[in-house]
Amino acid sequence: MKYIIKKVISMIITLVVVSLCVFLAFSIIPGDPALKKLGTEASPELIAQTREQMGLNDPVIVRYFRWFAAFLHGDMGKSYNYSVPVAGMILNKIPITLTMAIMSFLLTIVVSIPMGIITAKHEGGVLDRAVTVINQIIMAVPPFFSGILITFIFGMVFKLFTPGGFVSYTDNFAGFVGYLIFPSIAVALPKIAMTVKMLRGSVIDEAKKDYTRTAYSRGNNTNGVLYRHVLKNALIPVITFLGMLLADMVAGSIVIEQVFGIPGISRILLTSISNRDYPVVEAIIMGIAMIVIVTNLLVDIIYRIVDPRIGIEE
């Protein structure tokens, strides 16, 4: 419990620092939200009045504490551009992006862990060499380009899905998940390649250590040594990597949403950035930051379960 409490305190401090950095960043970059909302033809008096209504004339630190206090109470503020609550704009979009990120993450685990183990067991073999070459090719291709290829091959050639034919999760959940399969593959492909490479290297390194030779000397076969001893230690750095991947997939899904025409948070985010609609952008970035922080907390807890010595060492 002490270990978890320390991690939770660290998470809270990190969230406060991130919120401060996010708010200050959008306070100092060029661009006047009031001018962007009213247009260049608006009179200086109207612009000044609008800035006052938006609370933009208050000192930065006052605006930060007011915004952060409201955020802690679940109030994300109002959109500068649409004058509606930010929560109403993004809450129904977040499940779309999160579902695609989770599907990509599960796909990465299901494919990469068995493949990493198999290639490590057959180090230097034909399968290992073939997977290594394929991994290098996949890692060299950006996800958005993979998305374009998947759209062309599976959407336009094989007609397995209709490009742009997104189905809302409120109308047909099965159709919603079915449409997200191919975007999830586009997000997961480079992550699968990286995870396979990392797990393969970790298993091979662990297999060369003294405790492995001791396990063999006691009469264990290859599979017994691998699954009872080697894999448990080899997975520790991979768990960290997978934790970072989950957070990265949430951000990476934003690009893929544009390729496949998915109405997730990407459209709102890009539009809000161009319109200087900072409350919307800040809420989305804080949401992503919270996902990253909570993911890291879960990774630390899983660490503690896999190897109890980690908490003792810290």
Residue-wise pLDDT for 197-240, tens only, equals 999 999 999 988 888 888 888 888 878 888 888 888 898 889 88
How many CB atoms neighbour CB 299 within 10 A?
19
The pLDDT, as a whole number, for residue 311 is 53
Angstrom distance (rounded) from CA 53 to CA 311: 51
Angstrom distance (rounded) from CA 126 to CA 122: 8
Q: pTM for the complete prediction?
A: 0.84
- Hey, what long-range contacts does 75-79 have (CB within 8 A, 24 or more apart)? 76/279, 76/282, 76/283, 77/279, 77/282, 77/283, 78/279, 79/272, 79/277, 79/279, 79/280
The pLDDT, as a whole number, for residue 136 is 92
The pLDDT, as a whole number, for residue 310 is 57
The pLDDT, as a whole number, for residue 314 is 47
The pLDDT, as a whole number, for residue 308 is 67
Where the chain has pLDDT below 70, the residues are: 307-314
How many CB atoms neighbour CB 100 within 10 A?
29
The pLDDT, as a whole number, for residue 229 is 83
For 100-122, write each residue's pLDDT tens digit. 999 999 999 999 999 999 999 98
The pLDDT, as a whole number, for residue 267 is 82
